[in-house]
Amino acid sequence: MRWEELGDQPCSMSRTLAVVGDRWTLLILRDCFLGVRRFDAFERRIGLTRHLLADRLKKLVEHEVLVKVPYQQKPLREEYRLTDKGLALHPVILSLVSWGDTWMADERGAPIEHYHKGCGQRMKPVMVCSECAEPVGARDIEARPAAAFGEDAQRLVAG
């Protein structure tokens, strides 16, 4: 399968990767969640060429993960803001950060600590069941093919 064909696959992971599946896009999203909104700030923080940065931002806007909002009229200047669709990626980004904090950190530990505004405590992301609120891990979940996808989904589940 070719990279350009990922978005056409009957697989949610493939479709997601078609939008956010490269390292530069993930770093852009990381910075969005840290409050970065302007092109020059992304360029300065990530170190990506203007052409590649413009390409990644355009794709995120096309897929309605980000929206361009004017912050100055003369001359027109726009910044990038997360949409609801983009905000829904927060658990993904936070989980990747947490994985990196656990498995990739050096002796100093995590470079950024996350605090829950509600209770003020340092926190780590935990996945819970939407029905019973019990924490779940990889061994606690069973994947079943959705009937509407027939054999396509069966192949994904069967591995």
> Domain containing 2 — which CATH number?
1.10.10.10
**What's residue 90's pLDDT?**
97
User: Could you tell me if residue 108 is inside a domain?
Assistant: no
Count other Cβ atoms within 10 Å, centred on residue 57: 20
User: Could you tell me if residue 83 is inside a domain?
Assistant: yes
d(CA 33, CA 26): 11
Q: Among positive and negative, which fits the CA dihedral 78, 82, 86, 92?
A: positive
**What's residue 156's pLDDT?**
73
Name the residue range of residue 18's domain. 1-88
User: Could you tell me if residue 65 is inside a domain?
Assistant: yes
Question: What's the number of domains the chain is made of?
Answer: 1
User: Could you tell me if residue 115 is inside a domain?
Assistant: no
User: Could you tell me if residue 33 is inside a domain?
Assistant: yes
Angle, helices 12-20 vs 23-33, to 10°: value is 80
CB 97 within 8 A of CB 109: no
Which residue numbers in the chain have pLDDT < 70?
A: 1-10, 158-159
User: Could you tell me if residue 125 is inside a domain?
Assistant: no
User: Could you tell me if residue 140 is inside a domain?
Assistant: no
User: Could you tell me if residue 66 is inside a domain?
Assistant: yes
Question: Is the pTM above the cut of 0.85?
Answer: yes
